[in-house]
Structure 1
Amino acid sequence: MVIRQWSGRASPGNRGAYPAHFRQNVLPALRGLPGFRGAQLLEREAEGLVEFLVLTRWESMDAVRRFAGPEPDRAVVEPEAEAALVAFDREVLHYAVVDEAP
């Protein structure tokens, strides 16, 4: 199992735009991909902005590459997401799951 980590930041006045995009566009698209195992969207206030942390779970790095392409460390950010955010990570981090508890 692989966790893919990405974050973006929004202005407080536009707090709901990225979560709406995530629910309406990102999740439906991800659910159709082989090897996708789930996602979490987390939120916190930081330095006057709203930070969103997205953690997606994949069965393998091969599954990640099927989603992200030949450069899996490059973020996949749709124009609608870019419009909802004031800043976002251009690269992502991948972690191998060593242990997990329910």
Structure 2
Amino acid sequence: MIARMWRGFAFPEKADDYVKHLQASVLPELRQIEGFQGVTLMRRDSPQGVEFMVLTLWESLDAIRKFAGQDAEVAVVAPAAQGLFREYDPTVRHFEVVLDTL
């Protein structure tokens, strides 16, 4: 299993809007992709705004490419979400999951 991690800093007044966007727009799309295993959304307050860490789990890099395209390292941030963030990582990081107890 592959973990895909992405981070962004939302404007505090728009942080809840990002959660809604993820639930209403992104998650339904992800669930349609064969190989998608799940998502965890984490948040914390920081000096730069509300920091979000998004962790998605996938069966393989091929499954990730069905979502992200051929360059799987590039972050997928919809235009509707871009305006909610003060800044965000333009790329993601992938990790092989070697232990998972959830």
TM range (shorter): over 0.9
- Inter-partner Cα distance in structure 1 for 2:98 and 2:14: 36
Once the two structures are TM-superposed, the CA of residue 46 in structure 1 deviates from its matched residue by 1.1
Residue 62 of structure 2 aligns to a residue in which SS? helix
Question: Identity of aligned pairs, percent?
Answer: 42
Q: TM-score, normalised by structure 2?
A: 0.95
Name the structure 1 match of 2:52.
Answer: 52
User: How far apart, in 1, do the equivalents of 2:6 and 2:61 lie?
Assistant: 16
What code does the residue aligned with 2:94 have? Answer: H
Gaps of 5+ in 2: none
Q: Secondary structure at the match of 1:15?
A: helix
RMSD: 0.9
Q: What TM-score, normalized by structure 1, do the two folds share?
A: 0.95
Aligned letter for 1:84? Answer: L
> Displacement of 1:11 after TM fit?
1.6
1:40 and 1:100 map into 2 onto residues whose CA distance is 13
User: Partners of 2:95 and 2:85 in 1: how far apart?
Assistant: 25
Corresponding residue number in structure 2 for 1:8: 8
Structure 1 moving runs of 4+ over 3 Å: none
Gaps of 5+ in 1: none
